[in-house]
Amino acid sequence: MLEIRWHSRAGQGAVTGAKGLADVISTTGKHVQAFAFYGSAKRGAAMTAYNRVDEEIIMNHEKYMEPDYVFVIDPALVYTSDVTINGKEDTKYIITTHMSTDELIASQPKLKGKEVYTVDCIKIAQETIGRPIPNTPMLGAFMKISGMYDIEFFKESMVRILGKLPQKIIDANMIAIQRAYDEVK
Amino acid sequence: MANTGWDEFEIGAMLRTFEGSIDDIAGTLQEDRKYTENSSFSASVADWRIEKPIFAKDYCIDCQFCWIYCPDISIISRDKKMIGIDMDHCKGCGICVEVCPTNPKSLLMFPEQADEETEIAQWPAKETKEK
Amino acid sequence: MAFDKMELRDIEVWDGNFAAAQALRQCQIDVVAAYPITPSTPIVEGYAKFLADNYVEGEFVMVESEHAAMSGCIGAAAAGGRVATATSSQGFALMVETLYQASGMRLPIVLNVVNRALAAPLNVNGDHSDMYLGRDSGWIQFDSYCPQDAYDLNFIAFRVAEDHDVRLPCMVHQDGFMTSHTAQGVHTMDDDTAYSFVGDFKPMNDMLDFEHPVTHGVQTEEDWHFEHKARQHNDLMTKVMPKIQAAFDDFKTLTGREYNIVERYDMDDADVCVVCMGTSVETAREVALEMRAKGIKAGVVGIRVVRPFPFFEIQEALKDVKAIAALDRSAPGGAPGMLFNEIAGCLFNTDTKALLSGYIYGLGGRDLTKKHLVDLFTELQANVDAGKVLTPLQQFIGVRGPKLQFL
């Protein structure tokens, strides 16, 4: 079982990202689950989304999760919420920030001793898509860190999932995914 | 219907108006329609009445006011001519008399036991209004 | 036909709401009268979008309340259409008055209920309060455990509801957010196969049959009311279950997916079991397997048909087990939980010596964790070892503060 927790703000596309990732993985024959905690959250409120991936059918519906990966797609959430909660020894963190990994860990001591990767998904999204929607770049970074799929296969799959959007937006997303794949450290 | 069991009627809170099918309701006179016993048309409410209307045809101008205003659809009219009262469904409310515009009125209320021919024979005369 | 068909992949990653919306499209619903409420809104939004995009031929009626939504559905169903809607929580509560009208009038409406807590305090998350509120309304109630079930049970619901021997409305329940907003793989049917399972709508006593005029929604008083309710109860008790089983059988032949009136998992040799509904069934199945690795023979019984209540099927499922936990996800309001009471009623007068205890859990969407279930199975095994229930008969799981237990 592979488990992922997303830290996001409502409106940044974590749910869409989690469902998109589940969709891609599902096409390779694995079982998937994607869900989120909403409450009555308004745009901008901190929220979490989740992925589960397994070879077997997934029956576990508990919200409690000890994630293998934590994605933080908003830079402030590292400080305002505990992104390490229920973490395991080997949990990997992919965090959106303008800082280097060392600078980030220095600014948030909770990350000390953890396997932390950084990438500026907000900047990438703004420069490619033109809006601060950091969900698809995060998936590009995840492909690099996890080595889950070949990046070209992943991008092709995302073209299908984003199918209803204008071509210009799809193209921009592909550039964003590739940039995050290349830039994550 | 008094002893109809729970398993003997059709399901749902529904009742049929007619036995079998009907293909031209508007063009079929009431007396020619096959109403079911569940239709209110099959039930007489004549005994609710303590006064009854009597119709004096000589004074009627077929204005149809009584037909329009009767709350129990008990004024029988054919080809826009008033021909009488459905005494099975008239409850004796007197609205037809109130709305009748002729002078004297073509409809008047009488005790249930009054004799129709006698009352028509001694129908009130035209009222003259004082100027 | 005048509408377009949609190409689906064999497995689509859908949440429970979208799965239900797709089922409504494939059943070609004539009328949806709806009012939005979290978390059920995407079901009727989905239908409306399919309608706007010409994937379905029908009518979407926007109304001013859930009471009006169900009233519109009743009118459309009495007129002779295939009718569905969706609601949750307070919306369901506002619908209650009309739910009794729909079932008493024997109208085959399908209502997707995305289960959500009832205020106060206001809460949009999932528990079974609204499902429990509807349990005496004379509707058939199906319960989904995952998005796949939410898709499949809609087809089964229409098949059963519209059967002329049944003619009762059906609710298809799914857990708010835990199913409705959780995307998982859903095995789909193509449009023609899906439609063939429900078939063309066959009207009965419809108001649009001008050659056979009917009055719907008549008044009875002390004279006939009891006979009508007796007939409805008789049909729920005697006619519905065989039709549901037949629909399950046909559905399995068509798709390979098996549903049972009462679902039994690892029950053949189980010493201890939990009886529950919704997503909890699947989580409990996973934990039961893990308990078996630890030497506790655990099983799970899931209620698939909540109403009519599967009295004999429950008796059969629980006849050999030694300790049973009834899990109720609804505040019982000064009583044992519904499942506790129903199960006790099933087992009373039988030869079973099973120990029955009740648990209240998950109110307002509170997480039911695997750890909770491990503790629960362990507690049941302790009851078996002691030969008696060692705890009070009603316990609360996962609530803050001192241990809460009664009876």
Q: Per the domain annotation, does B50 fall within a domain? A: yes
**Which domain range does residue B98 map to?**
45-121
Element holding A105 (H helix, E strand)? helix A101-107
Give the pLDDT mean for C26-38. 97
Assign B38 a pLDDT band (cuts: 50, 70, 90): confident
Residue B127 lies inside a defined structural domain of this protein: no
Same domain for B69 and B107, yes or no, is: yes
Residue B12: both structure tokens together: 């749902």
Say which amino acid occupies C327.
L
Same domain, B55 and B34: no
Domain count, chain B: 2
In this predicted structure, the answer to whether residue C329 has a pLDDT above a threshold of 60 is yes
- Indicate whether C204 and C332 sit together in one domain: no
pLDDT at B4: 85
- B73 and B90 inside one domain: yes
Per-residue pLDDT averaged across C61-76, rounded? 98
Q: Tell me if C5 is assigned to some domain.
A: no
C115 with C234, same domain: the answer is yes
Could you read off the pLDDT of C201-224 as tens digits, one per residue?
Answer: 999 999 999 999 999 998 989 989
Indicate if B71 and B107 belong to the same structural domain: yes
Q: Which amino acid is at C280?
A: S
Question: Is the pLDDT assigned to residue B1 strictly greater than 60?
Answer: no
Of C146, C177, C183, nearest to A34 by CB-CB distance is C183
What is the domain count for chain C? 2
C3 domain residue, yes or no: no
pTM above 0.95, yes or no: no
Domain that residue C75 falls in? 11-255
How far off is chain A from C31, nearest CA to CA, in Å?
Answer: 27
Res B128: pLDDT? 84
Task: Work out the average pLDDT over A151-175.
Answer: 95
CATH number for the domain spanning C100: value is 3.40.50.970
Distance CA C313, CA B16 (A): 39
Chain C residues whose CB is inside 8 A of the A1 CB are: none
Is B82 among the domain residues?
Answer: yes
Mean pLDDT value of segment A155-173? 94
pLDDT of B2: 65
Taking the Cβ of residue A47 and every Cβ of chain C, the question of whether any pair is shorter than 8 Å is answered with no
Share of chain A above pLDDT 70, in %: 98
Residues of C in contact with B17 (CB under 8 A): 213-215
Q: Which of residues 99-138 of A touch C (CB under 8 A)?
A: none
Q: Is residue B81 situated within a structural domain?
A: yes
Statement to judge: residues C156 and C54 lie in one domain = yes
Q: Which of C8, C13, C143 is the mutation pick for testing A, counting most A CBs within 10 A? A: C13
Residue labelled with tokens 């209803």: A164
Task: Tell whether B50 and B107 lie within a shared domain.
Answer: yes
CA A55 – CA A32 distance, rounded (Å): 9
For residue range A58-97, list pLDDT tens digits in order: 999 999 999 999 999 999 999 999 999 999 999 999 999 9
**C121 has pLDDT over 90:** yes
Which token pair is C387? 């030969």
Contact A59 C183 (CB under 8 A): no
Among B4, B10, B14, most C C-beta atoms within 10 A, so best to mutate, is: B14
DSSP codes joined into one string, C59-89: EEEE-SSHHHHHHHHHHHHHHT--BEEEE-H
Is the predicted pLDDT of residue A41 greater than 80, yes or no? no
Distance from CA of C185 to the nearest CA of A (A): 6
Q: Give yes or no for a contact between A4 and A68, defined as CB atoms under 8 angstroms apart.
A: yes
Inform me whether the pLDDT recorded for C1 exceeds 60.
Answer: no
Do C104 and C249 belong to one domain?
yes
Is there a single domain that holds both residue B32 and residue B57? no
According to the model, what pLDDT value does residue A37 have? 85
From chain C, the residues in CB contact with B5 under 8 A are 227
Cα–Cα distance for residue pair C175/C306, rounded to 1 Å: 14
Of residues C177, C280, C368, nearest to A38 (C-beta) = C177
Q: Tell me the chain C residues in contact with residue A85 when contact means C-beta distances shorter than 8 Å.
A: none
Question: How far is Cα C191 from Cα C194, in angstroms, rounded to an integer?
Answer: 5
Domains recognised in chain A with CATH numbers: 2-183 (3.40.920.10)
Mean pLDDT of A155-182: 95
Integer Cα distance of A155 and A73 in angstroms: 19
C40 with C109, same domain: the answer is yes
Clarify whether residues C351 and C319 are in a common domain. yes
Q: What is the CATH number of the domain that holds B90?
A: 3.30.70.20
Do residues C213 and C115 share a domain? yes
ipTM: 0.93
Domain boundary residue, one of C228, C255, C282 = C255
Same-domain status, B49 and B107:
yes
Residues C270 and C238 in one domain: no
CA distance C210 to chain B (A): 8
